[in-house]
Amino acid sequence: MADPLVFKPLPVDPKTELQRRLDAAPIEHAEALLVAWDVLQAAHDQGLLDALHGLIGAKDAITGKIAEYAKQPEGITGIRNLLAAAKIVTALDPEVLDQLSKVIVSASEEHRREEEPPSLWQIARRTTSEDSRRGLSFVTMLLAGLGRSMKR
């Protein structure tokens, strides 16, 4: 019958492995370390580190004030409104928002170029285009939904 092989693993010292990785870090991550030092210096130059240090030192006072305001009815309503607004924003398609921002910029530039306000006839003519009707349809759907939600 065969004799079993005796296997005895070498003892591993986690501190030795950490020290080896720490010694190799400046060489392996030199560029990242230089960028981190630059960011740290820029934060120091701008006073951000001092502000952060102050925030950390005043954390008890800050959290106390936040808790005090959050338990007031206005704070509760504000938090609920913030969550509802976040829900609305996350439901929007980023492509649509991008197009909307471009349209708003374009429309505000056109509006600035108008020397006189348009007549009612000119406004009515704008609404006859296919794009205007599509936009008006969307706005009227929003208004109908708003009216429905205001029923008590």
> Model confidence over 40-60: pLDDT tens digits?
999 999 999 999 999 999 999
Parse the chain into domains and list their residue ranges.
Answer: 119-146
Q: Give the pLDDT confidence of 124-144 residue by residue, as tens digits.
A: 998 999 999 999 999 999 999
Quickly list DSSP for the chain: -PPPPP--PPP--HHHHHHHHHHHHHHHTHHHHHHHHHHHHHHHHTTHHHHHHHHHHTHHHHHHHHHHHHTSHHHHHHHHHHHHHHHHHHHS-HHHHHHHHHHHHHHHHHHHH-SSPPPHHHHHHHTTSHHHHHHHHHHHHHHHHHHHHT--
CB 20 within 8 A of CB 13: no
Taking the CB of residue 69, how many other CB atoms lie within 10 A of it? 13
What is the distance between the alpha carbons of residues 59 and 67, in angstroms, rounded to a whole number?
12
Indicate the pTM of the whole model. 0.47
pLDDT, averaged per 10 consecutive residues of the chain (152 residues), comes to 84 88 89 93 95 93 92 94 93 90 92 90 91 92 91 76
* Structure tokens given for 90: 């996350």
